[in-house]
Structure 1
Amino acid sequence: MNKIPLTKRGAELLRAELHKLKTVERPSVIEAIAEARSHGDLSENAEYDAAKERQGFVEGRIKEVEGKLSNALIVDPSSLDADGRCVFGSTVELEDENGNTLVYQIVGEDEADSKAGRLSVSSPIARALIGKFAGDIAEVQTPGGVRELEVVDVRYV
C-alpha cells in the first residue's frame, strides 16, 4: 500500500479520533446493542438494527483510521528544507488577479479544510502550486476558467 502523507498535526488528529472511537463510540454502541436486545424479538427491533448499523460504521472507521496511521508518512513542516519551493506541508501566501491575499497550507486529504486555510495535496490549487517558488505564477483550472495565482511567499511552519 502507498504511503499516505500527513502533517504532524494531521496524524495527531487521526490518533485522537481513533482513541475516541475505541474508548467512547465502541462502548456506547455495545451498550445500545445490549439495551435493544433486552427488548426481546430482534426481527422487528428498529433500535437493534440501528445499533448494529452504527457498530458497523464505528468498526469500519476504526479499521480505516488504523490503516491510514500504519501507512502514514508524517511530515513536520518546521523541519522541511525545500529551498523556498512549495511542497507538501508548506504554507503558501498567494495573490490572486484581483489583488486579494490568500494563505494556504498544503496538507493530506484527511486534514483538508479550505475554510481554515488547509488544502488537500490532491486539490487543483495545491497541484498547481507544488514545485513553485515565490514570484512564480500558478495557473489553476476552475469551473469559471483559468485563474492565475502569484506565489508571494512560501513558509515551513
Structure 2
Amino acid sequence: MAAPARPNSGPPITPAGMAALKARYDHLLGTERPEIVAIVSWAAGNGDRSENGDYIYGRKRMREIDRELGYLARRMKACRVIDPAEQRDQDRVFFGATVELADEDDARRTITILGDDEQDAGKGRVGWSSPIARALRGACVGDVRTVRLPDGVKEWEVMAIRYE
C-alpha cells in the first residue's frame, strides 16, 4: 500500500518568487541553451576541437546551463508557494510580513520576510531562514526580539506589521 501524499512542506516562496524562478528556467531552456547548442554545432564542424575556443567555451557554458536548469527544476518542485496576503493571523510576523523595526537607539528599519531565493538585503528583503527572520517569527507589535548577528547581539522592537 502506498503512503498517503503529504502536502508540500518545503521552503516557502511567494507567487512572484516562483514566477521569477520559472522565468529564469524558461529563458535558459528556450533561449540561451539553443543559442549555445548552435554555436557548439557550428564550432564542431570546423575540425580540430582541441584548440577551438568556440567549441570549448560553448561546451563549458552548456554544462553550466544544464547544472542551473537542474537546480531550478529541483527548487521549483521543492518550494511551496505561499501568498502573503492570505496569511490568517496578520497581527503576527509570519512569511511575507513587512515589518518595521526599531533598535535601542530608535533607528528604524523596514524588512520584508520572503523566501530564501528572493532575498536582497539591499532592498530590505530577508530570507525566511535568516537570523533576523527566525528571531521575528510569531512576534506581535510591541514585542522585543534579540537577534544574533555576525557582529554581535542586537535587540529590535516590532513597531508595525503589514502584509501586501
What does residue 20 of structure 2 align with?
Answer: 13
Shift of 1:31: 1.6
CA distance in 1, matches of 2:119, 2:86: 21
Select 2:131's aligned residue among 124, 131, 146. 124
What does residue 84 of structure 1 align with?
Answer: 91
Classify the secondary structure of the residue corresponding to 1:55: helix
CA distance in 2, matches of 1:111, 1:100: 25
Shift of 1:115: 1.0
Shift of 1:105: 1.0
What does residue 42 of structure 2 align with?
Answer: 35
Residues 62-121 of structure 1 show CA distances to partners (whole Å, capped at 9, x for unaligned) of 121111112221010111112411111111111122222211111111111011111011
Q: What are the within-5 Å matches in structure 2 for residues 5-154 of structure 1?
A: 5-154=12-161
Cα-Cα RMSD: 1.5
AA partner of residue 96 (structure 2): G
| Matched positions, count | 157
Segments of 5+ residues of structure 1 without an aligned counterpart are: none
8 A contact 2:90–2:163 mirrored in 1: no
Task: Among all aligned residue pairs of Structure 1 and Structure 2, give the percentage whose two residues are the same amino acid.
Answer: 35
Instruction: Report the more deviating stretch, 29-38 or 112-121.
Output: 29-38
AA partner of residue 114 (structure 1): A
AA partner of residue 59 (structure 2): K
TM-score, normalised to structure 2, is: 0.89
Classify the secondary structure of the residue corresponding to 1:91: strand
Task: Point out 4+ residue stretches in structure 1 off by more than 6 angstroms.
Answer: none
CA distance in 1, matches of 2:118, 2:111: 13
